Structure 1
Amino acid sequence: MKISKRLSKLFSAVFVFFLAFSMVLGFSSSAKASPSPGQEVAAAAGLLKGKPFKWGGTAPSGFDASGFTQYVFSHSYAKLKLPRTVKDQYKIGAPVQKNELKEGDLVFFKIDGKKVSFVGIFLGNNQFIAAASKGVRIQSLSLKYYSDRYAGAKRVLK
């Protein structure tokens, strides 16, 4: 009887050890999906929410629109160097239809007339984040102000 109890305890201990070991190494059956590059960029952008606006700003102490997107893409997992101006950022990437936007896509607007002059990063759920006059904020593409001035979107991530 004593031997069978010892074997039972030993078997239980070994089983628990291997179960814990397999979980540490990632052999468990519950696989988790890795975030996409666009999700990584969107998350990095969200961390800067509330940072102030600064004309010509390219750092967390103060951003303008293109300085914000340039900073986020270069300091996020994407490690992508974007051009400095909205105009030049609009020249790169693949055009994306509004109904096909994905997290991390650049969204462009014609705020000052006929040329693109404002850029943000699409977050999903019809929202984008950008450095505007009141600082880095999340906005809705559905707002009349932005929907009337929407110029298009570009996908710069693969």
Structure 2
Amino acid sequence: MKRRLLLPCSLAILTTAGCSMAPYQHSPEDTANLSNSPAKKYPKAAQPSLSPNELVKASLYKQHQEWKGIPYRLGGMSKRGIDCSALVYLIYRDHMGIELPRTTQYQVLAGESIKRAQLRPGDLVFFKTGRRGRHVGIYLEEGKFLHASVSKGVTISHMADHYWKSRYWRARRLELEPIKGS
């Protein structure tokens, strides 16, 4: 029993990081990889213009496909295992061009606080999972969020699910540069 508590406590202490946010200039190559984008369904001449929210959402669903099922590992930052804050950190860094802090403790301080009713794709959603435990995911749409679940690995869950509904804590919004369609 002591060993089970020692490892998570030790790793939690070791995983702190500072915060730095830098603007990102998107290039045409950034959005050329949105293979799940609704824009790909239309011929070039007939493409409807997608809203920034739709582009962010398409990018996040693509990330879900790339990370789906990767197991949860406290302190992990790779396809061999990843924790919730690392998933958020890597998606924001590699696909949205924003450097976030590495841990949930500091991610909850990034951006601006928003109300649950104001959520839109790309917002960070935070949950209290224990007396001191915190969990983070990225909001998608209609109550769904992308995260690294302890039991299911990287997955999409619904905020109205029994477990998450009572644990919702707060949400934060970061200014995202518009992702341009291809």
TM-score after normalising by structure 2: 0.65
Matched residues in 1 for 2:133 and 2:115: separation?
A: 16
Shift of 1:31: 4.1
Q: How many residues align?
A: 130
Shift of 1:93: 0.8
1:116–1:105 CA distance, 2 compared to 1 (3 A): farther
Please point out which of 131, 149, 163 is paired with 1:132: 149
What is the DSSP-based 3-state SS (H/G/I as helix, E as strand, rest coil) of the residue aligned with 2:166?
helix
Please point out which of 149, 152, 157 is paired with 2:170: 152
RMSD of Structure 2 on Structure 1 (CA): 2.0
Q: Which amino acid aligns with 1:125?
A: E
TM-score after normalising by structure 1: 0.74
Matched residues in 2 for 1:64 and 1:118: separation?
A: 9
Q: Which 5+ residue runs of structure 2 have no aligned equivalent?
A: 1-42, 177-182
1:116–1:153 CA distance, 2 compared to 1 (3 A): farther
**Which consecutive segments of 4 or more residues in structure 1 shift more than 6 A?**
none
Q: Which has the higher contact order (CA 8 A, sep 6+)?
A: 2
Matched residues in 1 for 2:59 and 2:129: separation?
A: 24
Q: How does 1:89-108 map to 2 (within 5 A)?
A: 89-108=107-126
Please point out which of 50, 55, 62 is paired with 2:81: 62
Tell me which structure has the larger Cα radius of gyration: 1
Q: Which 5+ residue runs of structure 1 have no aligned equivalent?
A: 1-23
Does structure 2 conserve the Cα–Cα contact (< 8 Å) formed by 1:45 and 1:129?
no
Name the structure 2 match of 1:143: 161
Percent identity over paired residues: 28
Please point out which of 30, 39, 43 is paired with 2:61: 43
Matched residues in 2 for 1:116 and 1:150: separation?
A: 12
Matched residues in 2 for 1:137 and 1:34: separation?
A: 25
Q: Deviations over 1:103-156 (max 9, x none)?
A: 11110001122x561000111011111111121111110012111111111111
Worse overlay, 43-52 or 116-125: 43-52
Matched residues in 2 for 1:112 and 1:38: separation?
A: 31
Name the structure 2 match of 1:109: 127
